[in-house]
Structure 1
């Protein structure tokens, strides 16, 4: 009888956890130029969106000491991230998280995301495509 109860609890927990994990959708976006790679990975549920942006410098010149970025969801006209940063490691990578709870609009796989990057009096816009 004890083994039966453990089995029922196990099945209940498995079904509950699998139902929760299917509640969210994951999306990945990536854009690349000769100088930068920008990636966005996000998980969206009914209640919130949690994502991570990664900006990587891949240019031929030495990496800039400081760069600025403005990331926008062109589909919804929402600014997702704005900042002036330095690289936090020797691989010329900067990552940051974004989170929104109770937002009116969440990211979808069809959204158009743009990253405008500025460095050393240069700038470019990179369009991120859904992968």
Structure 2
């Protein structure tokens, strides 16, 4: 299976559609995915997108939890209540719906970010801030242990 790799900035057209990067469409095709499952990220202002296997990962966590317990209820609420199926049009575009816009702040540009097994949709400025913060967190231990 091809990983979802790299990041791409694309314009949202006047009808609210955006072209999914060709390499991401190829990665989906290599998995045999024609439908996209999308979920609002639990921890970030991004939408996580993948094939049915993305939903199956959340469902596997739910199976391991007590169906009457809080963890199960939280996972179900987010996986189903904050999830949606997206459809490609004939030109490989998806619609940037209110479901996406309200959680991310996306307006006229969108960043597609590869996450190996799935990809994320970000508003460009929020993505840049998140990437800078991640780089700072990961480089802090390196800077501390480096001789000066």
With normalisation by structure 1, the TM-score equals 0.25
| Greater percentage in helix | 2
| Greater percentage in strand | 1
Q: Which has the higher contact order (CA 8 A, sep 6+)?
A: 2
